[in-house]
Structure 1
Amino acid sequence: MTARQPQSQFSRFIADQRRAGTLTLQPRMGFGDPARMRQGLLAVRSAGLPAIGTVTLDSYTRHNEHEQAAAACAAGVELNGYPLVAIPLARTARMLDGVASARFPVQVRHGSAQPEQIFATMLAAGLDASEGGPVSYCLPYSRIPVRVATAAWSRAVRMLAAQRDRGVLCHLESFGGCMLGQLCPPGLLVALSVLECLFFVEHGLGSVSASYAQQTNTDQDIEALWALRRLCAEELSTVVDHHLVLYTYMGLYPSTQAGGRVLLADSVRLAVRTGTERLIVKTTAEAHRIPTVAENLEALRLAHECALAEPGPEPAPDGDTEVYLQARVLVDEVRNLAPTLTEALPLAFERGLLDVPYCLHPDNRNEARCVLDTDGRLVWWDTGLLPLPAALGGRRRTERVGASRLLADLTHHRRRLDHPTRRQAPLRHAGNERHGQRLPH
Structure 2
Amino acid sequence: MTTATELPSLHESVAYVRQSGKPTAAEVLREARTAGRLALQPRCGVGSHPQMSTLLRDIEQHAAPDVLSVTIDAHTRLGRFDHARSVLDRNPADLNGYPLVTHGWRRGRELNEAVRAPLEIRHGSPDARVLFRTAVAAGITSFEGGGISYNLPYSKDVPLRRSLAAWREVDAACGELAELGLVVDRELFGTLTAVLMPPSVSLAVSVLEAVAAAREGVRCISVAYPQGGHAEQDVAALRAIPLLAARHLPAGVEVHPVLHEFMGVYPRERAHAEDLILYGALVARYGGATKLITKTYQEAYGIPDTRAIIDGLHLAARANSPLLAGWRLDEARIAEELEWILAEVDALVTPVLDSGLGLYDAIAAAFADGTLDIPFSASRHARSAVIPGRAEDGAIRILSAGALPLPRALRDRNTDALRTRPTDLYEALTKDIDHFPRLFGE
Shorter-chain-normalised TM-score: which range? 0.7 to 0.9
Give the equivalent residue in structure 2 for 1:19. Answer: 34
CA distance in 1, matches of 2:290, 2:135: 24
Give the equivalent residue in structure 1 for 2:384. Answer: 366
Instruction: Determine whether 1:294 maps to 2:307.
Output: yes
* CA deviation vs aligned residue, 1:323-368 (integer Å, no higher than 9, x gap): 1110122121221124432222111101211111232411112222
CA RMSD of aligned residues (A): 2.3
Contact 2:129 2:166 in 1 (8 A): yes
Give the equivalent residue in structure 2 for 1:349. Answer: 367
How far 1:76 sits from its partner (Å)? 1.9
> What SS is found at the alignment partner of 1:321?
helix
Instruction: Determine whether 1:284 maps to 2:323.
Output: no
CA distance in 2, matches of 1:339, 1:252: 40
How far 1:393 sits from its partner (Å)? 2.0
Give the equivalent residue in structure 1 for 2:11. Answer: none
Instruction: Determine whether 1:66 maps to 2:81.
Output: yes
Flag as ranges the 4+ runs of structure 1 deviating above 6 A.
Answer: 312-316
Structural mapping, 1:141-220, within 5 Å: 141-143=154-156, 144-176=158-190, 178-220=191-233
How far 1:168 sits from its partner (Å)? 1.7
Contact 2:387 2:401 in 1 (8 A): yes
Give the equivalent residue in structure 1 for 2:58. Answer: 43
Instruction: Determine whether 1:124 maps to 2:137.
Output: yes
Structure 1 residues without counterparts, runs of 5 or longer: 1-7, 421-441
Q: Which of residues 92, 96, 102 is equivalent to 1:86?
A: 102
CA distance in 1, matches of 2:118, 2:147: 24
CA distance in 1, matches of 2:49, 2:277: 28
* CA deviation vs aligned residue, 1:187-236 (integer Å, no higher than 9, x gap): 11111112111111122211111111100311211222222231123223
Matched to 1:65, the amino acid is R
* CA deviation vs aligned residue, 1:383-431 (integer Å, no higher than 9, x gap): 111110111126899x9862111111111112113x36xxxxxxxxxxx
Contact 2:108 2:135 in 1 (8 A): no
Matched to 2:428, the amino acid is R
Structural mapping, 1:226-265, within 5 Å: 226-236=239-249, 238-265=251-278
- The change in CA–CA distance for 1:151 and 1:9 in structure 2 (over 3 A counts) is same
CA distance in 1, matches of 2:34, 2:286: 15
Instruction: Determine whether 1:267 maps to 2:297.
Output: no
> What SS is found at the alignment partner of 1:393?
helix
Give the equivalent residue in structure 2 for 1:328. Answer: 346
Q: Quick check: which one's helix share is greater?
A: 2
How far 1:48 sits from its partner (Å)? 5.7
Matched to 1:174, the amino acid is L
> What SS is found at the alignment partner of 1:304?
helix
Q: TM-score when scaled to structure 2? A: 0.86
Give the equivalent residue in structure 1 for 2:151. Answer: 138
Q: Which of residues 91, 112, 132 is equivalent to 1:76?
A: 91
How far 1:256 sits from its partner (Å)? 2.2
Matched to 1:215, the amino acid is G
CA distance in 2, matches of 1:48, 1:416: 30
> What SS is found at the alignment partner of 2:343?
helix
> What SS is found at the alignment partner of 1:46?
helix
Q: TM-score when scaled to structure 1? A: 0.87
Give the equivalent residue in structure 1 for 2:419. Answer: none
CA distance in 2, matches of 1:373, 1:17: 35
Structure 2 residues without counterparts, runs of 5 or longer: 1-22, 417-421
Identity %: 31
